[in-house]
Amino acid sequence: MASGSMGAGAVRHIVMLKLGDKANVGKVAASLGKLGDGIPGVKWNSFSLNTDLGLAEGNYDVALTIEFPDKENYLAYAKHPEHVAAVQSNSSMVVSRAAIQFSLAPKL
Amino acid sequence: MASGSMGAGAVRHIVMLKLGDKANVGKVAASLGKLGDGIPGVKWNSFSLNTDLGLAEGNYDVALTIEFPDKENYLAYAKHPEHVAAVQSNSSMVVSRAAIQFSLAPKL
């Protein structure tokens, strides 16, 4: 797991995926999980992959939360071939994608 | 801010909203932010409201992340009139909503 220090510029990236067939949750989670082993040249502080508990109707199925030490590492991640390949390999199983990146105040 | 202890059953709730008009981000964030002052009978460990940095095309605009000590507090929140009223007051400004709840392993 690549890691950097939590500075003033830390960024949290969250992506949520809704799948056409819930049976594919394991496959999609596995392909995203492989990214968590590390991507050359990309630093993050934490990488967590989670699946929905089924407590509400219409929920998304998978959430990936990555905390980067700064915007530059998020941008390097976003365009990295390994990330792009994972997105492409999952695309046929994903019916809806929601993403956001926001800054994280440093933990005092 | 109401708070409970982080037990084995802790749940993270994330909702992301995409707005029809970015000019409404402040209004939507303010109405969700009021929930953060506390809801009678509902406990959470953390409540954070964040807005998108604009680093990627097609992103959602607002993310609300709440960590509940257990499922019961999430379910109490979901159906609470104050939460329902906030959702209704924002609905005309929201074009797309994505939500998920997942369990959080206890922090050792």
A68-94 mean pLDDT: 96
The rounded distance, in Å, linking the Cα atoms of A20 and A95 is: 5
The rounded distance, in Å, linking the Cα atoms of B19 and B5 is: 34
State residue B48's pLDDT score: 95
State residue B106's pLDDT score: 58
Contact A55 B74 (CB under 8 A): yes
State residue A46's pLDDT score: 96
The rounded distance, in Å, linking the Cα atoms of A1 and B97 is: 31
State residue A8's pLDDT score: 63
The chain B residue lying nearest A18, using CA atoms, is B98
Contact in structure between A98 and A29 (CB atoms under 8 Å): no
Contact B101 A11 (CB under 8 A): no
The rounded distance, in Å, linking the Cα atoms of B13 and B100 is: 6
φ/ψ of A81, rounded to 5, equals: -55, -35
B14 has a pLDDT exceeding 60: yes
B7: pLDDT confidence band, cut at 50, 70 and 90? low
CATH numbers and ranges of domains, chain A: 11-103 (3.30.70.100)
Q: Which amino acid is at B46?
A: S
State residue A62's pLDDT score: 98
The rounded distance, in Å, linking the Cα atoms of A73 and A78 is: 9
The rounded distance, in Å, linking the Cα atoms of A82 and A86 is: 6
A2 has a pLDDT exceeding 60: no
A91-104 mean pLDDT: 97
| pLDDT per residue as tens digits for the range B53-100 | 999 999 999 999 999 999 999 999 999 999 999 999 999 999 999 999
| pLDDT per residue as tens digits for the range B22-65 | 999 999 999 999 999 999 999 999 999 999 999 999 999 999 99
Contact A96 B98 (CB under 8 A): yes
A51 has a pLDDT exceeding 60: yes
Instruction: Assign B77 to helix, strand or coil.
Output: helix
Contact A12 B103 (CB under 8 A): no
Report the candidate in A54, A42, A13, A48 with the shortest Cα–Cα distance to residue A29.
Answer: A48
Contact in structure between B62 and B19 (CB atoms under 8 Å): yes
φ/ψ of A36, rounded to 5, equals: -65, -15
Nearest-CB residue to B56 (from A16, A53, A101): A101
- The minimum CA-CA distance between B64 and chain A, rounded to whole Å, is 11
A108 has a pLDDT exceeding 60: no
State residue A106's pLDDT score: 58
The mean-pLDDT minimum among A36-40, B4-8, B94-98 falls in: B4-8
The rounded distance, in Å, linking the Cα atoms of A101 and A72 is: 12
A44 has a pLDDT exceeding 60: yes
Q: Which two tokens stand for residue B30?
A: 């303010």
